[in-house]
Amino acid sequence: MRVSEGARNARSGASCAMDTGYAYFVFMSVRYGLLALLERAPMHGYQLRVEFERSTGVTWPLNIGQVYTTLARLSRDGLVTENEGEEPGKVAYALTDAGRAELAEWFASPVAHQDRPRDELAIKVALAVGTPGVDVPAVLRTQRTATLRTLRELTRLKTEAEDDEAWLLILDAMIFRTEAEVRWLDHIEARLAQPRRRSSRRKPVGAPAEDRVETP
């Protein structure tokens, strides 16, 4: 079947939109993460990087270049100010009133599902199901082994977290999501093991009925 130029362009546009949406999600998360840290106290770029990674349990390592790029945009938008730091040659960043207002609005707003990163595993399994020659049960087994290994590691980290409340909250979220992934893999495996249903062909509404030959 030939794919029209318009269809190809539409698919390409959808892919670009997904890539752009993911990049926007990452940018906005770092943006508000830095604003939240600056609400605690003025800091320079390296301090913000260290505090960001500490606050997220090192689950989201930041490139120092990404930190300064985001800070430059925040300064341009009037959300932070640049001041002379206590250490010579270092700039200390501080929140403005506009920055505090934007941070408060962010905390008051829910995170929409479409703002979260796309699920690579779901896409991978969906593609495996429709791709000839792919051993789908093997794909599921491999993923389940890796996911269970991750779950054991997260559980171990939780026992060592002691009284770090922020890290414990992140670990709980990661454990719940990992457990849900195991359940989803089990569900997919059980579903694929069931005999496939025959798809009934239905005529479009208003289509003429077929001529029938009546036997005497």
Q: Tell me the whole-structure pTM to 2 decimals.
A: 0.63
What pLDDT, on a 0 to 100 scale, did the predictor assign at position 115? 56
Q: Are 155 and 175 within 8 A, CB to CB?
A: yes
- The answer, yes or no, to whether residue 32 has pLDDT greater than 50, is yes
Which two three-digit tokens encode residue 3?
């794919």
**pLDDT 10s digits, 152-187:** 999 998 988 877 888 888 899 999 999 999 999 999
What pLDDT, on a 0 to 100 scale, did the predictor assign at position 96? 97
**pLDDT 10s digits, 9-23:** 433 443 343 344 444
Q: Distance between the two ends of the chain, CA-based, in angstroms? A: 43
Of 50, 54, 48, residue with least CA distance to 32:
48
Burial classification of residue 43, based on how many CB atoms lie within 10 Å of its CB (0-12 exposed, 13-18 middle, 19 or more buried): buried
Q: How far apart are CA 31 and CA 34, in angstroms?
A: 6
Question: What average pLDDT score do residues 198-207 get?
Answer: 48
**pLDDT 10s digits, 129-149:** 888 899 999 999 999 999 999
Give the start-end residues of each E strand in the chain. 80-84, 91-95
Query: Considering Cα of 74, then 103, then 112, then 109, what sign does the dihedral take?
Result: negative
